[in-house]
Structure 1
Amino acid sequence: MKRISVLSISLIILLVVIFVLVRPKQEIVSVSLASETTQITYTDTESIQIFEDAIKSVKKVRGAVDVGPPTYRMTVTYADSEVVEFSLYMDFKNKNGFLIKNSNSETMLDLKDQNSEELADLLSEKRENR
């Protein structure tokens, strides 16, 4: 009996690992940003890659978050039509920022320095061209 339960648990773990490894990668197809004065949508490969890298490399910050209004409301649309909404907080002077996923508004997601700089540079281009 013990052997059967160990075998069952091993099989379940194996199936979960296979599912995680085989699961298709979510591909971003567009990112829309909205502020009080601006509405921007990115669909080009280079910009999408900057957002994708930034989202994938965030670090969760421990503790609850209480912040003011975001720099941008960000809507990320994936190829499978999934839509995820974030609040993006960006300090353009210091080129650092963080995200808060709207579905988990008490967790701050800190952007890595390199990703934050790339994102600030990308967004600054649009801010200067307004």
Structure 2
Amino acid sequence: MRKIGIISISLIILLVLIYVLVRPNPEIISVNLISETAEITYTDIESIRIFDDAIRTAKKVRGAVDVGPPTYRMNVTYADTEVVKYSLYIDFKTEDGFLIKDSDSEKMLKLKDRSSKELTDLLSKVNTE
């Protein structure tokens, strides 16, 4: 009887682990950016990939968050119609970037160097047009 219990618990843990590892990430369908001077919505595959990579690979910064107004307000719309709001901070000179999720404003997320570079390149196109 004890052996069946251990096998059952092991099977449940295995199924949960498989679900967590295999479940798909929610698909982004659009990203809307709002600054003091402009508003733009990205829906093309390459731009969505850049934003998705930036969000997924951002790492939490330790310490308290005390920042000024963001470079952009960012609304990310997922395929299941969920909209997640962020503050996006981008320094176009140093190509550093940070995100703060509105629903968790105590936590700042640092963008990876590659993601910051891709975002500054993408957003620079808008600033020069």
**TM norm. shorter chain > 0.5:** yes
Equivalence for 2:118: 118
Equivalent residue letter for 1:59:
K
Structure 1 residue 5, shift from structure 2 partner: 4.4
Kindly, what percent of the aligned residue pairs are identical? 68
Relative to structure 1, is the Cα distance of residues 64 and 17 closer, same or farther in structure 2, using a 3 angstrom cutoff? same
Q: Could you tell me how far apart the structure 2 residues matched to 1:14 and 1:96 are?
A: 40
Q: Aligned runs of 1:79-98 on 2, under 5 Å? A: 79-98=79-98
Equivalence for 1:48: 48
Matching of residue 63 in structure 1 with residue 63 in structure 2: yes
Q: Could you tell me how far apart the structure 1 residues matched to 2:22 and 2:116 are?
A: 30
Equivalence for 2:20: 20
Structure 1 residue 2, shift from structure 2 partner: 4.7
Structure 1 residue 64, shift from structure 2 partner: 2.2
Q: Could you tell me how far apart the structure 1 residues matched to 2:101 and 2:18 are?
A: 28
Equivalent residue letter for 2:87:
S
Match of 2:31, SS state, is strand
Equivalence for 2:99: 99
Structure 1 residue 116, shift from structure 2 partner: 0.1
Tell me which stretches of 4 or more aligned residues in structure 1 moved more than 2 Å.
1-9
Match of 2:63, SS state, is coil
Please list every run of 5 or more consecutive structure 2 residues that lacks an aligned counterpart in the other structure.
none
Q: Could you tell me how far apart the structure 2 residues matched to 1:8 and 1:104 are?
A: 37
Q: Could you tell me how far apart the structure 1 residues matched to 2:60 and 2:50 are?
A: 19
Equivalence for 1:37: 37
Structure 1 residue 4, shift from structure 2 partner: 4.7
Equivalent residue letter for 1:84:
V
Q: Could you tell me how far apart the structure 1 residues matched to 2:3 and 2:61 are?
A: 42
Equivalent residue letter for 1:89:
Y
Q: Could you tell me how far apart the structure 1 residues matched to 2:61 and 2:83 are?
A: 23
